[in-house]
Amino acid sequence: MPRKKRDDKNLQKSSAPKMNAYIAGSGIVAEQQITDTLEKNYMPYAMSVIVSRALPEIDGFKPSHRKLLYTMYKMGLLTGNKTKSANIVGQTMKLNPHGDAAIYETMVRLARGNEALLHPYVESKGNFGKAYSRDMAYAAPRYTEAKLEPICAELFRDIDKETVDFVPNYDNETVEPTLLPATFPSVLVNNNMGIAVSMASNVCSFNLSEICEATIGLIKNPDMDLLGVLKGPDFPGGGYIVYDEAEMDKIYRTGRGSVRIRSKYSYDADAHCIEITEIPYTTTIEQIKDKIVELAKAGKVKEISYIRDESDLNGLKIAIDIKKGVDPDKLMRRLFRLTTLEDTYSCNFNILIGGYPKVMGVYEILGEWTAFRKECVKRRVYFELKKKKEKLHLLYGLKKILLDIDKAIKIVRETEEEADVVPNLMIGFGIDDIQAEYVAEIKLRHLNREYIISRIAETEQLEKDIAEMEDILGSEKKILNIIISELKEVAKKYGQPRKTLFCYPEENEEEEPEEDTPDYPVNLFLTREGYFKKITPQSLRMSGEHKLKDGDVMETVIEATNRTEILFFTDKCQVYKTRASEFTDTKASALGDYVPVKLEFEENENVLCMITTTDYSGFLFMIYENGKAAKVPLSAYETKTNRKKLMKAFSDKSRLVKMIFIEDNADILMMSDKGRAIIFNTALVLPKSARDTVGVQCMTLKGGARTEKAWKIEEEKLGELSKFVMKSIPASGCLAKGIDDPDQTKL
């Protein structure tokens, strides 16, 4: 093939990105598509994280949990004494190759002392930290001791009866179970969170008694409504769930949704102190304290005089000292709104089923668990059936010996070679080799009629048991009855009262928290240098001229109220959000607050414009030096999280000439530095949701001209300036003669 044609053919190959790959030992660098590299190297890793690390399976455990608990079970820690945690960690490394620190952290979370689980699996001694505290760290494994909690007996019941599969460990030295044959739906009894690749799981805990009752109900009636039995999650930290029946039903059916958890508190009237004893599972003491301190420093919560952590061996307690005359319930409603004293638990019931991740609701999870448990029971019954059949088979052979014990002794005695004993017994009594081997191994002291008759008497009971087991294996109803009886037994033995109770929004909270900020009319002033004043109308009427710095001029004057929200736009394309109430009332004779210092601007950042609003309605119309203009809804600057600073508040592609607030549409005049002007209605510019949109061309600029001024034209003046009014944009406009500059010039 000619070289040119070969090169042309190469150019027609896939244009997918490629990378160079060095072939070891050959000195050759070959091209390889990135997609192939990702598929060969990253995809196996991603699947390993999803399937073998981050997501729980139907037994309720991730591999790290299962390996740890099984190791403790094999160490005899279900019934024995506690042992040093370091010993457990060392033994677990035979199954878990991820290192001692990771193993110990897993054990800490499973421990009773950490209080992270509703039903802990590890009985602990020593300092295991606290799940509700960021700073209460756990002790090293050489200082703590542990064993399995009694409830773990239900996790390992009949595990030695082939109820689950076993696989080799990572070095093929031993075996470990793929699942634990839990006799209750442990997957929903304890919290479980995992972050895999491109997916995550967040399973909340439910009360053991309720979940067992719900499972029994679904087994008996698959169409039952779970809300009648399973009211909602039950968290180890207690607190209150703000009950929402529709959201709860959504979680039960889809596996996704959110639960609002509220702290539990009491008020000591004598000490003027609020005592918080239970907090949401999703937060910590330190997070709550830090937020309340931050609010107090910012002046948003002025009723609190002191806050301290009084947690001790008796449990969690946050004490909040409040000032005299403060309504504690009203204050707590505000704190619920402003802090994580009320928080949200986001449910995402993503569980591995047969090696595949699947998001399921509670209905489907309990259905999958029932199917898994049915298989465990079948395997256990089959294992026991097999053992009983083997024993019965041996006893049948022993029964034949009963007919003539002397003959058996004679056969054994007269057989010259040991290897011929079993075959001769087989021939002499018509039994198989297994039965003959069993007879041949009987001790001499047992060759009496009483022993043999007592053993043969077992055959009748064995025959009954075998018939019953075969009946069970052939009847799904009987298998389900076994599961139901086991669930009742677990609920009776390990059930406990709910820790998390319920409250209802319509009874326990106002729809909209009462606004504590006083509201009254004010006048807001902003100078070109960035000085801000808030003056009441009464004070303004009694004042003289404004005090200003040399060379400074008053730029913006707005009539508003004390609750008005203020947006300060800066020359770094950022906006700082605050309220008029954050500024103290002043007088015209005062210089005012310097906004860059008050709102902690970045270095060399200055105010360009001040916009006020109470409901974020209307639009911002922004005119740029390049002749473009953008119309952005003011709602684009509204945030649900009360953020104080937003970046990319407007476009940085061209210098901002003017920012004008309009309620709906208005007529705008744009003037260039070459003396030309146009007037157009903002209806010609479509609104854009992106705050930093570059806008559309409104004024055609030629010869290096730039937009220099812009302002809003009142309707009564349009008649005088009709020649500048444009019906379409962009337009170059007319020479600006006869236009009075209202001194709303460059910023």
- Under the banding of pLDDT at 50, 70 and 90, the label for residue 745 is very low
- pLDDT score, position 668: 92
pTM, to two decimals? 0.68
Q: What is the mean pLDDT of residues 24-50?
A: 76
Q: Which domains does the chain have, with CATH numbers?
A: 3-49 (no CATH), 55-162 (3.90.199.10), 264-340 (3.30.1360.40), 376-494 (1.10.268.10), 521-735 (2.120.10.90)
**Dist. CA 670–CA 699, nearest whole Å:** 7
Label residue 94 by pLDDT band (50, 70, 90): very high
> Does the pLDDT value for residue 689 go beyond 80?
yes
Asked if residue 15 has pLDDT above 50, the reply is: no
Spatial separation of the C-alpha atoms in residues 85 and 153, rounded to whole Å: 20
Is the per-residue pLDDT at 5 higher than 60?
Answer: no
Which residue, among 211, 141, 133, 702, has the nearest Cα to 490 in the 3D structure?
211
Percentage of the chain exceeding pLDDT 90: 62
Interacting residues of 648 by C-beta distance below 8 A, sequence separation 6+: 573, 574, 691, 692
Task: Return the pLDDT at 514.
Answer: 47
State the DSSP code for 50: I
Average pLDDT of the chain?
88
382 assigned to active site: no
Cα gap 291→38, rounded to integer Å: 43
What does the CA dihedral 563, 564, 570, 576 come to, rounded to 10 degrees? Answer: 40
Rounded to an integer, what distance in angstroms lies between the CA atom of residue 265 and that of residue 239?
9
pLDDT digits (tens, 9 = 90+) for 575-585: 999 989 889 88
Q: Which residues contact 270 (CB under 8 A, 6 or more apart)?
A: none
pLDDT(19) > 70: no
Looking at residue 11, its pLDDT comes to 39
The type of residue at 313 is: L
CB 744 within 8 A of CB 668: no
Question: How much is the average pLDDT of 465-473?
Answer: 94
* Chain segment 372-394, per-residue pLDDT in tens: 999 999 999 999 999 999 999 98
Rounded Cα distance, 589 and 543, in Å: 7
Q: Is the pLDDT of residue 241 over 90?
A: yes
Q: What pLDDT is stored for residue 506 in this prediction?
A: 53
Q: 647-667 pLDDT, tens per residue?
A: 999 999 999 999 999 998 899
Contacts of 480 (CB under 8 A, 6+ apart): 219, 370, 374
Quote the CA–CA distance of 289 and 59 in Å, as a whole number. 37
Both tokens assigned to 702:
């030629």
Among candidate residues 22, 42, 45, 143, the one labeled active-site is: 143
Convert the pLDDT of each residue in 393-429 to its tens digit.
988 888 888 778 888 888 888 888 888 888 988 988 8
Contacts of 114 (CB under 8 A, 6+ apart): 108, 120, 124, 128, 129, 130, 131, 138
Q: CB burial class (10 A; 0-12, 13-18, 19+) of residue 478?
A: middle
Confidence band for 540, pLDDT divided at 50, 70 and 90: confident
60: left (phi over 0), alpha (psi -120 to 50) or beta: left
pLDDT at 446 over 90: no
Backbone phi, then psi, for 606, in 5-degree steps?
A: -125, 155
Q: What is the mean pLDDT of residues 704-733?
A: 87
Residue range 687-698: mean pLDDT, rounded: 92
- Residue 272 confidence (pLDDT) above 70: yes
For residue 22 the two structure tokens come to: 């060095």
Q: Are 674 and 734 in contact (CB under 8 A)?
A: no
Least confident of 28-32, 104-108, 299-303, 541-545: 28-32
Residue type at position 356: Y
Phi/psi for 678 (5° steps) reads -135, 155
Q: ∠ CA 468-471-475 to the nearest 5 degrees?
A: 140
Helix (H, G, I), strand (E, B), or coil: what is residue 550? coil
In this prediction, residue 203 has a pLDDT band, given cuts at 50, 70 and 90, of very high
- Does 643 score more than 90 pLDDT? no
The per-residue pLDDT for range 479-508, each reduced to its tens digit, is 999 999 999 999 999 999 999 999 987 544
